[in-house]
Every structure is written in C-alpha cells, then in structure tokens.
Amino acid sequence: VTEYRLRCFAQSGNAYKPALALALAGADWEPVFVDYFNGETHTPEFRELNPMGEVPVLEAGELRLSQSGVILDYLSQRFPDFGPRSEEERREILRWTLWDNHKLTSYIATLRFQMKFLPEERRQPEVIEFLTKRSDAALHVLDRHLFSNEWIAADHLTTADLSCVGYLYYDHEFPHDFATFPNIDRWRRAITGLPGWKHPYDLMPGHPIPPGALS
Amino acid sequence: VTEYRLRCFAQSGNAYKPALALALAGADWEPVFVDYFNGETHTPEFRELNPMGEVPVLEAGELRLSQSGVILDYLSQRFPDFGPRSEEERREILRWTLWDNHKLTSYIATLRFQMKFLPEERRQPEVIEFLTKRSDAALHVLDRHLFSNEWIAADHLTTADLSCVGYLYYDHEFPHDFATFPNIDRWRRAITGLPGWKHPYDLMPGHPIPPGALS
C-alpha cells in the first residue's frame, strides 16, 4: 500500500498543486483517477469523500484532506523543505496561498474552463473577456513580485510556489502570452528544472479527455 | 496610541472580517479610513504599505499584515477564543478560509461591485449573471454545511466564520434572497447577537459613498 493516495485528474491544476509536491518530495504516492468529465464528483461515493464535490482529495492512512491549500499545508509538515523556516515565512506562505485562491486560480481556472472545456454554444464572450482581464491583472501582480524575488514566499521553494504555479503549465490553453511575463517565465522554468518535475498531463491520469465527454 | 490600526473602509467586506474580529474581541483598535473610491489604494504611499494594493492592512507595532486570512490567523493567536483547539480544527479553519477566498468572497464581492459600484454603462449583464450563479452555488454549499453545524469549523465561533460572513451583511446589495438560505440566516443572526457586533457600515468609516465618487 502506498503512503499517500491523491484523487485527481490531469486537467485539474488544483490537483496538480499537491501532486507536484508529492513528486518533488519523492514521496511514496499514487494518483487515483477521478472521472470528472463524466460526472464522478457528483456521485454519492465522491460526495462522501468530499461534500464540496471538489478534487483533489488526499488520503493518508485514516486521514482525508480536501482543499489544495490544506493538503499543501499538511505536506509541508511531512516534507519540511517546502515549509516555512520562521513565523514570518509561515505568514508569507499563507498570504500568497490565499491570494492564489482568491485572485489567480479562481479566475484563470474558470477562464480556461470557459474557453477549453465548455461546449462552444455555452461559452459567454463577455464572461471570457471579464475573466481574461482579471487573470491578466493577477499575473501582473505575480510578475512584479517575481522581478525582485526568486521564489514567492521565502528564499527557497515553498508550497506557495506550488499553489501559484498550479495552472501555469497549461499556458497554451489561455489567451495570455507568457512572453509578456518574463519573471513568471523564469520562475516557472526554475520549477521545471527540479528533480521529479512533470507536466500535469504526464503526472496525473486522464489526458487527453475522451471524445464526447465534454458535450 | 491604540494597539491595532486597521486600514479599511465601510464597503469592504474583506476589511470587515478582521474589523469584526477586533470588535468582538474587545481589542484596543482603531479603523483608519482608506479612500478607495477616490483611488487611495493606487497611491505610492498605499502601495508601500501593501504592494498588492488591497485593503485591509493591519498595523500592530512594527508589524504590517495584509490579506484578511493572514490578519485573521494573526488575530486568532492574539485572541485564542477565535482560534483552533486542535490540529484538526486548525485545518478546518484553513479549509473554510481558503474556500471562502476561492468560492464565496471572490464571486460575491465581485458581483456586488458590478451591480452596485460600477457606473451603469460599464455593467455587464452576462458577467452579472455568471457571478450570480457562482455565488449562488457557494451559498448553497455553505447553507448545507450549516444545516448540520452550528459554526463553520468547530463547535465555537472561529475566524472561519468571520471570513465567510464578511460580505453577508450587505445582503440587500445582492440579487440573492437570504430567506432561501435558512441555515446561513440562523448562523448570521447568531453572530449579530454577539457582544460588540456592528454592521460593517457602522463599524468602519466611509458610508455612504460621497456622490460623484463612483463615476
């Protein structure tokens, strides 16, 4: 039996956040595929695992954890390399994890869903424009921050980096041009270079989506 | 000199979260008005306090904290009544605070901004419809949770409650009918009954907005 089981699917950047932590830590873990595009997160079985109906869920022994930020917090206790080394770093990690949830992931994940996963007739151009502007503003905040900081919340990689980078390897699926965010690009490539790194489509099961699942 | 100074304004539910914590704790604090609607958060002086350009900012001695969730975390160390009593409660508080930032506040605050603060000619009906649906889904998740839980993350009021309730006293400014969320309504009224509670418009300066500030 593996030590950690992560309910996930390849297209979920929120699942990628802890999956990448486990991969970079060299943990004894396995991904467990959730068939999101065929409605698995709406089944009673899945709702018992997580009443919020969201991926990821981490299983570690008797423990069941949901919300990527909670799982990252837990993994940083198990793998202290990704965690804070002071109370100030702990707060900075929390600050950027909350910011990611509020200002970056909430808009960029929803934008990608509208552009890439909704059937064409259900896409809303005004909503796409709105979410594009919001994501763009968040990416500018992050790019400015990474101009003067190598990593997001400390002088080493922390779970705040893993949270913020969650959706940023799906970049060809957004309208943004990452060449205009040179500091994000440098930071993203630094993470790519770490031992154990894999693209979300290689790290988690379910890519590509079977034809017909999105209709 | 007061112990805590909170940069805030009456219309900000994110500022209300720590303001309410300070009020309920009976802390020695004062609100410091930020003239958001006249652009104060874009000034170099404010950006020096918080490069993200966001309210609230808490000043406590030499400490400067931003992000409501970080400030709430700090205040729960100073006022442990609002904090966790176990590691499990700590995680539950984090889980719901992240959820609030990701799924509730991010949509409901933006919806209210579109409906109430944007000049009429800049409002986008498709965006309002989209944000209304997203907020509605989040309120249903919260209402179901509060059906079987008196408080959000423990058997007592915690900062997770203060985070989630941040925008919910501005209810006449949303399209939602709170009568359809009876458990949220019960919980919200329980908070209203606590000693020190005040409505955001009474607790923080800047209400009403001066005529002309929104054009």
C-alpha A181/C-alpha A186 separation (Å) is 9
Q: What is the dihedral of CA A46, A52, A55, A59, to 10 degrees?
A: -70
C-alpha A145/C-alpha B73 separation (Å) is 23
pLDDT of residue B215: 60
The rounded Cα A121 to chain-centroid distance in angstroms is 27
Q: At what angle do helices A125-147 and A105-112 cross, to 10 degrees?
A: 140
Whether the predicted pLDDT of B52 surpasses 90: no
pLDDT of residue A154: 98
The ipTM is 0.95
Instruction: Compute the nearest-CA separation of A209 from chain B (Å).
Output: 25
pLDDT of residue A173: 94
Q: Which residue has the tokens 């894999």?
A: A198
Query: Exposed e or buried b for every residue in B98-107, given b needs 16+ CB within 10 A?
Result: bbbbbbbbbb
Tell which of A12, A55, A70 to mutate to test the B interface (max B CBs under 10 Å).
A70
As separate numbers, helices (DSSP H) first and strands (DSSP E) second, chain A gives 9, 4
CA distances from B118 to A107, B8, B122, B126, B135 (A): 19, 20, 6, 15, 18
Write the CB contacts of A193 (distance below 8 Å, at least 6 apart in sequence): none
Q: How many A×B Cβ pairs under 8 Å? A: 77
Q: Considering only CB atoms, which chain B residues are within 8 Å of A125?
A: 126
* Dihedral pair phi/psi, residue B77, rounded to 5°: -75, -35
Q: Is B151 helix (H, G, I), strand (E, B) or coil?
A: coil
Instruction: Compute the nearest-CA separation of A58 from chain B (Å).
Output: 13
Whether the CB-CB separation of A32 and A46 falls below 8 Å is answered with no
* Dihedral pair phi/psi, residue A112, rounded to 5°: -60, -40
The mean per-residue pLDDT over the stretch B203-210 comes to 94
pLDDT of residue A210: 79
Q: What is the pLDDT of residues B91-137, one digit of tens each?
A: 999 999 999 999 999 999 999 999 999 988 999 999 999 999 999 99
Residue type at position A68: S
C-alpha A189/C-alpha A200 separation (Å) is 14
* Dihedral pair phi/psi, residue B8, rounded to 5°: -160, 175
Enumerate the β-bridge partners of residue A63. Answer: A60
Quote the tokens at residue A38.
């065929």
Whether the predicted pLDDT of B213 surpasses 90: no
The mean per-residue pLDDT over the stretch B161-175 comes to 96
C-alpha A196/C-alpha B193 separation (Å) is 53
pLDDT in tens, chain A (215 residues): 899 999 999 999 999 999 999 999 999 999 999 999 999 999 999 999 998 899 999 999 999 999 999 999 999 999 999 999 999 999 999 999 999 999 999 999 999 999 999 988 999 999 999 999 999 999 999 999 999 999 999 999 999 999 999 999 999 999 999 899 999 999 999 999 999 999 999 999 999 997 777 76
Quote the tokens at residue B147.
């059906």
Query: In 3D, which of B98, B108, B106, B90 has the Cα closest to residue B158?
Result: B90
Tell which of B98, B115, B129 to mutate to test the A interface (max A CBs under 10 Å).
B98
Enumerate long-range contacts of B61-68, CB under 8 Å, 24 or more apart: B65/A91, B66/A95, B67/A94, B67/A95, B67/A98, B67/A99, B68/A98, B68/B14, B68/B15, B68/B17, B68/B18, B68/B163, B68/B166
Quote the tokens at residue B156.
């007592």
pLDDT of residue B27: 98
Write the CB contacts of A164 (distance below 8 Å, at least 6 apart in sequence): A96, A100, A104, A142, A152
pLDDT of residue B188: 97
The mean per-residue pLDDT over the stretch B1-28 comes to 98
Q: Considering only CB atoms, which chain B residues are within 8 Å of A139?
A: none
Cα torsion angle, B43, A168, B109, B64, sign: negative
Residue type at position B83: G
The minimal CB distance from B126 to the residues A101, A124, A145 is found for A124
- Name the percent of chain B lying above pLDDT 70: 100
Q: What is the pLDDT of residues B66-100, one digit of tens each?
A: 999 999 999 999 999 999 999 999 999 999 999 99
Residues 61-80 of A with CB under 8 A from B: 65-70, 73-74
pLDDT of residue B100: 97
C-alpha A204/C-alpha A199 separation (Å) is 9
Q: Does A106 touch chain B (CB under 8 A)?
A: yes
